[in-house]
A and B are shown apart, each in its own frame.
Chain A
Amino acid sequence: MDDIDRAIINEIQSDFPIESRPYRELGKRLNLPEREVFRRVKALKDEGIIRRIGGNFSSKKLNYASTLCAAQVPKEKIEKFVREVNKYPGVTHNYLRNHEYNVWFTFIAPDMEYIDTALEGISRSTGVTEILNLPAVRTFKIKVDFEV
C-alpha cells in the first residue's frame, strides 16, 4: 500500500461518489486517471484491505430496533451459546471480553419484542440466564472513517 492507495482509501471510506462513473469522479478529486483509480481499488479489494463498498444505514431511521447484549457464559457453554446467538442474522458483532459478562454482541431486529423473544429462546436452549439487554438511549458519537 503506497501513498496513492492511502489517499484513495481516505477518500472512499465516507465519500464514495454517488455518480454514474464514480472512479472518474475520484480521479478528478485525486488527479488520477479513471482506469488507475479503478485498478487500485480492485487491487485493494483483492488484497482484502477493503472488505466491501456500499451503504451503511441508521437502523433507527429504518425503524429497526438495535441493542448491545452482554451475557455471563461459563467456559464450557461458550461454544454452544455463541452458535445459538450467531444463528440470528441481526447479530452483527459478537466478541469474547475480559469480564464476568464475557460474551458481548450487538443485535438489530425489526422491533425490540423480536430481540426479547430471541434472548428468552437463547436463554432456554443454552441455560445461560444472565443476559443484559442494553439499548442505546442516546448517541454522542459515531466515528465512521479512520485515517490510514
Chain B
Amino acid sequence: MNDAIGYAEHKFQKDQENISRCAMIDDLDKMVIQLIQGDLPLVMRPFASLAKRLGISEEDFLGRIRALKKRGIIRRFGATLRHQEAGFSANAMVAWKVKEDKIETVGRAMAKFRGVTHCYQRQTQKDWEYNLYTMIHGEDEEECYRIAEKISKKVGIKEYVLLFSEREFKKTSMQYFKK
C-alpha cells in the first residue's frame, strides 16, 4: 500500500519534472545565457553592448532575459558579493537524520528559521543516513551551534552534525552550455 503511494508520488514528481524540462530553451536563449552567466560589462547600457555581440537588438535581448526570469530559468539576476555572508563570519552545513514520514514537516519548519539560508532533502546512501541539509550562518561557530540546538529542539530532531568549512578549495559560478 505504502509502496503504491510512494510510487504514485514518485511518478507525479517525475511527470512534473518532465513538464518543466519540456520548457524549451532555443539556441538564442543558450547564447543569451552564455553572455549573462559571466559579469555584465560595466557600461551605461550593458545589455545593448551584449546584444550587439549576438547581432540582435537590445529590446530582443532584454525580452529574452525577462522571459528566462519569468520562467524561473534565471533564478536571480543581480550582484553576487565576494563575501556573500557579509556580517556573518561563520557558516555551517548541518546534516540531519529525519524519519522519512516527518521530512516534509521538518523541512518546512527548518526553512522558516532566519539563520537558515538553504534547506534540502538529499538522497541517502548505505552507511550515510543523513537526509536533510541546512546551511546556517552565525557570527561565530558557537552561535552556529546555538542555532542548530534551537532548531533541533523546535523540530524534535536530535541526530545531527555540524560541518564547518575549514578551507575553501574552489568557489565559482557554473558556466552552462560551454563546449
Contact = CB atoms under 8 A, between A and B. Distances in A.
Interface of A: 9, 12-16, 18-23, 34, 38, 41-42, 45, 48-64, 68, 82, 85-86, 89-99, 103-105, 108, 132-146, 148
A38 B47 CA distance: 15
10 contacts: A18-B47, A51-B81, A52-B79, A82-B170, A86-B169, A92-B170, A137-B122, A138-B103, A146-B81, A148-B86
A51 B62 contact: no
A50 B6 CA distance: 45
A109 B167 CA distance: 24
A105 B78 CA distance: 24
A45 B161 CA distance: 37
| Chain B contact patch, size range | 35 or more
Contacts of A135: 122-123
A61 B68 CA distance: 10
Interface of B: 17, 20-21, 23, 25, 33, 36-40, 42, 44-48, 58, 62, 65-66, 68-69, 71-88, 93, 103, 107-108, 110-111, 116-125, 128, 133, 161, 163-176, 178
Contacts of A103: 169
Contact of A52 (B20, B80, B161): B80
